[in-house]
Amino acid sequence: MSIKGWRGRLLVVDLSQRLFKTVELSSRLLKAYIGGRGLGVKIVYDHTPRRVDAYHPDVPLIFAVGPLTATPFYSTARFCVISKSPLTGTLFDSSCGGELGLELKKAGFDALMVKGSSKSLVSLVIDDEDFLIKDAEGLRGYTTKATREALRKDYGEEFKVACIGPAGENMVRMASINSDEGHVAGRGGLGAVMGAKGLKALVVRGSKPLEVADEKGIRELNRLVLKRIKSNPITGKALPGLGTLFLLQVVNEHGMLPSRNFKNTSFDEAYKISAELFKAKLFKRRKGCFNCPIACKRVVNLKGEEHPQPEFETTWALGALCEVASPEALVELNSLCNDLGIDTISMGSTLACAMELSEEGLLDTRVTWGDVEAMKELIADTAHRRGLGRTLAEGSKKMAERLSRPELSMSVKGLELPAYDPRGAYGQALAYATSNRGGCHLRAYMISTELLGVPILLDRLNPIGKAELVAYYENFLAAIDSLIVCKFLSLELDDNIFASALRMATGGLFTRAELIKAGERIWNLERLFNLEEGFTSSHDTLPERILSSPGAPPLQAMLEKYYEVRGWNRAGKPIEAKLEELGLPGERITM
């Protein structure tokens, strides 16, 4: 490789044939797609048969890192998981913290591609150039925590683990992948794809040093980055002081915290599960990811045991949305979901949907608002596909459709919406509707400018200019997910800083415009995949409950402008000139 920072290698593992292969990645490909999400999207696009179930053995599962992984640059200890989602049917990526990504990069790879499926449960062990497929039937039924402990006991603490729990084994469509303590690739059910492949865990250790083009430059850039992060009230004060949960009271006060399955836009008892209450009652210590100056994670003490403090989205989904107002209960619900390997957002939203269906007499099992003990039982039943849990395991969309009330699933493209009510922020509403992976706040985090005032505060109920901003943020954050850098840095740092870091790592001449162009290329390739899977502009929408509400966002007008900004036709398809500009779909990656 003439360019530094990358490894230039993809490890391909065929679980059906029990074969390993190393594939060289060209510098042209890496420049075009950067790494992480972008590289994974390209591999999945090139090597996934269309119109097949996400559990099909030929659907690849990718673990990918970026060119900034294992460099000195701050907040880059992350990895991406990319595949086709069993929950949405869209091309899907999910980002995760922890140190497994560092180890994969140190082992000498930019990505791992898992294809085929094993007839028995296995673990995949990567120790630099030594690759093993090990029997894991003895771990069947283990929680994610028990799995990590068992594998570290077998291999040593220096090995890092990504694994699934019972939900992944049972192919629950909202199953997560957990890595290290409190780090989760949660959304989209990619843990179920692992389960379909018979892959219980990925165990990785690496020891190879990484050469970057300008290490001194990166360290000097870090000094500037640190000053800016510390001076920002969100990255320097709120996140380190209270964690992501600082958002709960802010969002609620603006009438944007949905409760009772989005029937209401605020939660009267939000103060009882606020960051301040958690800090006063349960807080034990702060925790941060490797080489992160923000350290937003928090550990709480409950009944003499340490647990991760629930993040904002979790506290909302299992709390406000289901009318649960107990910090202690939320700690238990969060830990239960983490141990069983279930996405807390989709689980909470599916429970809320079930509560409304039950309220209308459409479920045989009675599920009432705020019933914590029933929620615990249903979460466990979902993970094991027992009783009503068999229905919940399919997600809220399939459950509501089965009972002829599809409008009660608060989802976009099958992915349950997160905590920011789109009736209170029109840019975020458009971001939900256009998201390639479904209802997601992290494809374009318009809350930063519509609510938090970063970098400036915009009128959240004014649609003018939102199409342009949403498209820009979608491109920008696609690049961020490909570097891979924690999105919290983007609350202070602009595209010029990230382009500078990329230049210093790789030696390539990346301008800020080229960085954003790569993000646009990734976004459009994701769109092409979804179109080929049968998605149309009709799927760029919001739940009926949102669109029929007083003060609903003017979605159709914003969509028309968005398609124009994107260089797509009125049907939401990229026009030929746009594809040529971006070089799409591009040369196929050969294996």
Q: 72: which residues sit within 8 A by CB, 6+ positions away?
A: 215, 218, 219, 222, 291
For 131-142, what is the mean pLDDT?
98
Closest CA to 7 of 497, 29, 591, 62: 29
| Percentage of residues of the chain with pLDDT beyond 90 | 98
* Lowest-pLDDT choice from 226-230, 364-368, 479-483, 563-567: 364-368
Q: How many CB atoms lie within 10 A of CB 359?
A: 15
- Is pLDDT at 256 greater than 50 in this prediction? yes
CATH T-level fold of 241-416? 1.10.569
Among 88-92, 404-408, 508-512, whose mean pLDDT is lowest?
Answer: 508-512
| Number of Cβ atoms within 10 Å of the Cβ of 219 | 13
Question: Mind listing the pLDDT tens digit for each residue in 288-338?
Answer: 999 999 999 999 999 999 999 999 999 999 999 999 999 999 999 999 999
In angstroms, the CA 183 to CA 163 distance is 11
Secondary structure letter of residue 98 according to DSSP: S
461 has a pLDDT exceeding 60: yes
Residue 78 contacts by C-beta under 8 Å, 6 or more apart in sequence?
A: 36, 65, 66, 69, 95, 96, 97, 98, 101, 289, 484, 485, 486
The per-residue pLDDT for 2 is 59
256 burial level (CB within 10 Å; 0-12, 13-18, 19+): buried
Over residues 170-183, the pLDDT tens digits come to 999 999 999 988 89
Strand partners, 249: none
Residue 1's pLDDT is 46
Q: What is the length of the chain?
A: 591
pLDDT in tens, 476-499: 999 999 999 999 999 999 999 999
> Is the pLDDT score of 225 beyond 80?
yes
User: What percent of the chain clears pLDDT 70, i.e. is strictly above it?
Assistant: 100
pLDDT tens digit sequence for 327-367 = 999 999 999 999 999 999 999 999 999 999 999 999 999 99
Domain boundaries for CATH 1.10.569.10 within the chain: 241-416
Classify 445 as helix, strand or coil. Answer: coil
**Which residues fall within 8 angstroms of residue 62, CB to CB, at 6 or more apart?**
39, 40, 43, 44, 80, 81, 82, 83, 111, 112, 113, 114
Q: Where in the chain is the domain with CATH 3.60.9.10?
A: 9-205
Residue written as tokens 């349960």? 282
Between 1.20.1050.40, 1.10.150.120, 1.10.599.10, 1.10.8.10, what CATH number should domain 422-491+511-582 receive?
A: 1.10.599.10
The two counts, helices (H) then strands (E), for the chain are: 24, 17
The whole-chain average pLDDT of the chain stands at 97
Intervals of CATH 1.10.599.10 along the chain: 422-491+511-582
For 45-104, write each residue's pLDDT tens digit.
999 999 999 999 999 999 999 999 999 999 999 999 999 999 999 999 999 999 999 999
Q: Average pLDDT, stretch 242-257? A: 98
**Top-level class of domain 9-205:** alpha beta
* 14-22: long-range contacts, CB 8 A cutoff, minimum separation 24: 14/115, 14/116, 15/114, 15/115, 15/116, 15/117, 15/118, 15/122, 15/124, 15/133, 15/197, 15/198, 15/199, 16/57, 16/115, 16/116, 16/117, 16/118, 17/116, 18/133, 20/131, 21/591
Write the burial class of residue 157 (CB in 10 Å: 0-12 exposed, 13-18 middle, 19+ buried): exposed
Residues ≥6 apart with Cβ < 8 Å to 283: 298, 300, 301, 309
Both tokens of residue 241? 């002081």
